[in-house]
């Protein structure tokens, strides 16, 4: 019998969207989803997974989606022409929402789920502290000017990715692209010294212009782009 991917109970299982379904509902023109593991083609509807019980889905996870919906309204649904924003965030809710999305994504790809599973009590809000330290970062994707058509090519693709290069101390690195925004999370192996983490994050932000979203802050100022729409498209290939 199938059990809920979050609480392990074998209640009636419901549909859970791999990409937030409000992306396609509220912003039809933004509804492009690339699932590299499935067929690498853009889809106009978000893929779904059916292994979450209604209790987890309706009570716990939907609260996180509410937060994601708020961010979508305030940020992701608007084209950015310049990398010059102040992003206001709730570190706890944003991290848990992203972890939920990545865990959902990982289940459809038959990845090793052990790290994601260790985060379930944190995602559900049962544990205040995460099981492993992690660093959350964010970047801005700016449009590419299409010279022949004299048009701006805006990044309108929603996609999840994995950090494939190995970084000292990182057990899992994940990416999420929501239109002009990219989020990255680096989860650290138990016992990775703070100075190693700081050194690696400094290197990443220098190389990529990703900005750390500190746990004790509520806002981050971003003034340099981390990539252009064209390189975001190429990265996805
Ligand atoms: Zn459940």
DSSP codes, 94-123: HHHHHHHHHHHHHHHTT---HHHHHTHHHH
What's residue 33's pLDDT?
54
What's residue 37's pLDDT?
47
CA distances from 112 to 63, 103, 105, 116, 167 (A): 26, 10, 12, 9, 18
Give the predicted TM-score (pTM) of the model.
Answer: 0.89
CA 14 – ligand 1 centroid, Å? 10
CA 90 – ligand 1 centroid, Å? 24
Phi, then psi, of 197 in degrees rounded to 5: -60, -45
CA 15 – ligand 1 centroid, Å? 12
Task: Decide: 41 and 34 in contact? Cβ < 8 Å.
Answer: yes
In tens digits, the chain (237 residues) has pLDDT values of: 789 999 999 878 887 777 776 666 655 555 455 554 455 555 556 677 889 999 999 888 999 999 999 999 899 888 888 889 999 999 999 999 999 999 999 998 888 999 999 999 999 999 999 999 999 999 999 888 877 777 777 777 778 888 888 899 999 999 999 889 999 999 999 999 999 999 999 999 999 999 999 999 999 999 999 888 877 766 655
CB atoms inside a 10 Å sphere around CB 158: 24
CA 53 – ligand 1 centroid, Å? 4
CA 54 – ligand 1 centroid, Å? 7
Alpha-carbon dihedral sign for residues 210, 223, 92, 218: positive
What's residue 83's pLDDT?
85
CA 142 – ligand 1 centroid, Å? 39
Q: Which residues surround ligand 1, an ion (CB under 5 A)?
A: 4, 6-7, 53, 56
CA 116 – ligand 1 centroid, Å? 15
CA 13 – ligand 1 centroid, Å? 8
CA distances from 207 to 25, 147, 164, 226 (A): 36, 27, 15, 9
Task: Decide: 148 and 9 in contact? Cβ < 8 Å.
Answer: no
CA 180 – ligand 1 centroid, Å? 33
With a CB cutoff of 8 Å and minimum separation 6, the contacts of 23 are: 30, 31, 46, 72, 76, 158, 178
CA 107 – ligand 1 centroid, Å? 15
What's residue 66's pLDDT?
93
């Amino acid at each position: 019998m199938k059990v809920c991917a979050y609480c392990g109970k074998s209640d009636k299982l419901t549909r859970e969207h791999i990409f937030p379904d409000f992306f396609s509902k509220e912003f039809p023109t933004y509804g492009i989803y690339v699932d590299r593991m499935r067929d690498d083609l853009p889809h106009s509807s978000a893929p779904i997974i059916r292994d979450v019980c209604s209790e987890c889905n309706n009570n716990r996870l939907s609260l996180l989606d509410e937060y994601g919906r708020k961010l979508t309204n305030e940020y992701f649904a608007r084209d950015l022409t310049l990398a010059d924003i102040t992003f206001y965030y709730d570190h706890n809710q944003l991290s848990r929402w992203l972890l939920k999305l990545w865990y959902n994504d990982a289940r459809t790809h038959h990845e090793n789920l052990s790290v994601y599973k260790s985060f379930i009590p944190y995602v559900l809000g049962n544990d205040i502290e995460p099981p492993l330290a992690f660093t959350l970062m964010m970047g801005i994707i700016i449009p590419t000017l299409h010279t022949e058509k004299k048009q701006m090519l805006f990044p309108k693709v929603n996609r999840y990715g994995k950090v494939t290069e190995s970084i000292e101390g990182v057990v899992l690195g994940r990416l999420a692209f929501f239109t002009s925004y990219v989020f990255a999370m680096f989860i650290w192996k138990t016992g990775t010294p703070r100075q190693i983490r700081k050194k690696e994050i400094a290197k990443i932000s220098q190389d990529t212009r990703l900005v750390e979203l500190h746990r004790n802050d509520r806002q981050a100022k971003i003034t340099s782009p981390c990539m252009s729409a064209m390189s975001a498209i190429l990265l996805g290939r």
